[in-house]
Structure 1
Amino acid sequence: MRIIGGSLKGLRLNPPKNLPVRPTTDLAKEALFNILQNKIEFEGIRVLDLFSGTGNISMEFASRGAEQVISVDRSIHCINYLKDAARQHGLSSIKAFKDDVFKYLQLETEQFDLVFADPPYDMNKIPEIPKIVFEKNLLSPGGLLIVEHQSLQNLSNHTAFTEQRKYGHSSFSFFDN
């Protein structure tokens, strides 16, 4: 894993092997950020990273100038790794929280310019993520929700769905506010 853009471009991340994660591949992450580069201005945005795992995506947004990145994961080991990595590399915009994502979403009242969710692929509640984000009005006007999921899964039945991009077994579904 590496940071592909911004102030930490090229930084290799070496999380412990025992973390309960399936990180977004460099190929998929690079494709995602190429798409985002044409859709949003990274400088000063507020990002919510759900199921943040190693914090790979959180650190990418922070490296590119996000004003605030809220990272949520249920694994204390992942959260501790991300907090240590953010501190080590001076990424003070990252705030990491250990919590169940669905419980966190029920309590969140702030709005974000971008919400990124990378749940475990075998989770049966993945289609609920867009539903909750839009019901709770968690996206700023013009905001974007991106859900990473298995390519075989289809999230296009949500009214805010705009497109799905496939990268092998992984896909990103985009939802606009």
Structure 2
Amino acid sequence: MRIISGIHKGRKILAPKNLPVRPTTDMAKESLFNILGNSFYFDAISVLDLFSGTGNISYEFASRGTSNITCVDQDFGCIKFIKQTASALNLPLQTIKSDVFKFLEKTTLQCDIIFADPPYNFTEEDFSKIPELVFKNNLLLEEGLLIVEHSKHTNLSNLENYSHSKSYGGNMFSFFEN
């Protein structure tokens, strides 16, 4: 995996092979950040990265100037890797080791962008809990965006607050808005 743009543009990051992750592809990530760059000033937003895995998405935000980023993952190895990488690259990432659903139930953190990259084998019910909890607990700031990454075989268009989806190869991003 590599950082596409910003101060660490082109930097390759090698995650340990034993992490239970499926990092967002560079092509999908680049397309997503092109979309976000048209709507947000990266140096003026706050980001919550759920199911953060290797931290791939968070590194991209940080490299582009975002200084308020929180990464949540339940895997100790993932959190450890994100902390090590953030320290080595001097990136402003906060990490929280927690089950994402428990975190969403309890947090009062509000952000401009919430990115969720849950396991692709989640059930429709599991996927639906993400926007449900985000909007029930008012975790998005005004004009904020929830982005859920999933397989092209999963359809989230029937969920409340759904706006639209973009497909990149086997990856799909569904966007939710207030």
For the criterion TM > 0.5, the same-fold answer is: yes
Shift of 1:127: 1.5
Q: Which residue of 2 aligns with 1:101?
A: 100
Shift of 1:164: 0.5
Shift of 1:67: 2.3
The superposition leaves residues 121-175 of structure 1 with CA deviations (integer Å, 9 ceiling, x where unpaired) of: 0112012111110001000001000000111211112332111001122100011
Mapped pair 1:166 → 2:167: yes
Identity of paired residues, percent? 53
The superposition leaves residues 67-120 of structure 1 with CA deviations (integer Å, 9 ceiling, x where unpaired) of: 2110001110010000000000011x2001111000011111021000000000
Which 5+ residue runs of structure 2 have no aligned equivalent?
Answer: none
Mapped pair 1:16 → 2:16: yes
CA distance in 2, matches of 1:43, 1:31: 19
Q: Which residue of 2 aligns with 1:113?
A: 112
Q: Which residue of 2 aligns with 1:49?
A: 49
Aligned length: 176
- Aligned structure 1 segments of 4 or more residues deviating by more than 3 angstroms: none
The TM-score normalised by the length of structure 1 is 0.97
Q: Which residue of 2 aligns with 1:145?
A: 146
Q: Which residue of 2 aligns with 1:122?
A: 121
Q: Which residue of 1 aligns with 2:75?
A: 75
158-167 or 101-110, which moves further after superposition?
158-167
Instruction: In structure 2, give the amino acid aligned to 1:67.
Output: S
CA distance in 2, matches of 1:24, 1:44: 24
